[in-house]
Amino acid sequence: MNQEMKSSTSSETTVWDVLHLSGSPHIPSSVNVPHAWLLLGPTGSGKRLTALAMAAAFNCPELPGVGCGVCSTCTRIISGRHPDLHLIVPEGQVISVETIRAGVIPEAARSPFEARRKVFVIEEAERMHPSAQNALLKTLEEPPEDTIIILVCDQEDELLETVRSRCRVVHFQRVPSEAIQGILEAEGAETPVARLAARIADGDINRARSFALEPEAQSRHRSFAGVPARLTSSLEALDAAAEIVTEAATAVKERSEAQKREVVELAAALGEGRGTASARASLAKRHKRELRRLENEVLNEALWTIASWYRDVLTARRGAPEAIANLDLTPDLGRWAVALEPDDRSLVAAIHRCATTPGALARNANPSLAIEATLVELARLAPPPAESMPVD
């Protein structure tokens, strides 16, 4: 069960080869599909999307074992809106034993609502508390025949060996920028936009796709990249922090409206039959987690973008333009590199400050206070040179 295979990001074996266990184009329902999977690899390497694709392939009525990608089952699973797909994510720093006992073990014992199999996707599985991992062992070892559990993990060492040994392991690799650019161009992005997206994504295909294909993401990036030039005082830092928090709140509001439509769609699909109360409760919990996660994602995106600016200034100072991520801002970076008074250690400290704040957010720190404190500190560490102009 712990046989290791390469993922679709490798040149050796695609994820569909992993799924084609029978050696044929489709997997008949009689094939003994492994019930526990462990997808290992860096953030942005496609693990989560692969987990959803696997869930769709296992349940697709049109192309069983492959997934057609267009039927109701596939589209609802890929969008995370299927009653037999259970997404488990950290709430705070860890996935608690209570989450596993309440959200996985009893649900795994129930019959699927409409699909052939229930699929549990446990994201950031390395954040399961050891007691949560131990609680999951029996379900991993003796699951119901119609249950599949997929662990999505960045750090293998944080998982107990007893958990790893019960899973089929698939390794993912960071996606090269050239490959990301090619993917984006194939999806319709113009070459300059695809090249920039691939650079700033740092191997994260999801971040690159969001930037290249969503005008709102490009607008946010320009806004966030302009923050360092605004940090001339604590007051300016507080104003910039308020704008970042407002960006996150706007994204949450838009997602909340989409969730309301999803509730209506689910009610129409389920009616008042068996298991509807459980499905509605599960949806409400997922919606709450999604909104908190989205808020943190936008805030983390802002911090990552600001940190990438300071990193690029360091890169420009070292005369390595080929390593600059924010290609569209090269002239401004060059001015900073020449005119900025703080030494390199201050820039490194600014990058470090941006990198530590997401941890505070994950520990349920007040978002506004966390972002404000970070930007005020950045204004002290690396105030913009007088010669620089704010980035539009």
Does residue 387 form part of some domain?
A: no
Among candidate residues 138, 171, 204, the one where a domain is terminated: 171
For residues 89 and 80, give the distance between their C-alpha atoms in angstroms, rounded to a whole number.
13
Least confident range from 254-263, 367-376, 381-390: namely 381-390
| Residue, of 158 and 12, whose pLDDT is higher | 158
Does residue 389 form part of some domain?
A: no
Q: What is the 3-state secondary structure (H, E, C) of 40-95?
A: ECCCCCCHHHHHHHHHHHHHCCCCCCCCCCCCHHHHHHHCCCCCCEEEECCCCCCE
For residues 94 and 305, give the distance between their C-alpha atoms in angstroms, rounded to a whole number.
26
State the pLDDT confidence band at 194, using cuts at 50, 70 and 90. Answer: very high
Least confident range from 4-8, 286-290, 348-352: namely 4-8
Torsions phi, psi of 118, nearest 5?
A: -85, 140
Does residue 50 form part of some domain?
A: yes
Does residue 391 form part of some domain?
A: no
Does residue 39 form part of some domain?
A: yes
Among candidate residues 171, 200, 235, the one where a domain is terminated: 171
Torsions phi, psi of 95, nearest 5?
A: -95, 115
Q: Please give the model's pTM, rounded to 2 decimal places.
A: 0.68
For residues 168 and 150, give the distance between their C-alpha atoms in angstroms, rounded to a whole number.
9
- 118-122 and 168-171: which strand pairing? unpaired
In the chain, the N- to C-terminal Cα span, in Å, equals 53
Among candidate residues 213, 237, 269, the one where a domain is terminated: 213
For residue range 309-345, list pLDDT tens digits in order. 999 999 988 888 888 888 888 888 888 888 766 678 8
Q: Tally helices (H) and strands (E) across the chain.
A: 17, 6
Q: Has residue 90 got a pLDDT over 70?
A: yes
Position 236 scores a pLDDT of 96
For residue range 209-243, list pLDDT tens digits in order. 888 888 888 889 999 999 999 999 999 999 999 99
Helix axes 276-317, 367-381, angle to 10 degrees: 0
Domain that holds residue 80: 4-171
Kindly provide the b/e burial profile for residues 343-355, where b requires at least 16 CB atoms within 10 angstroms of the residue's own CB.
eeebbebbbebbe
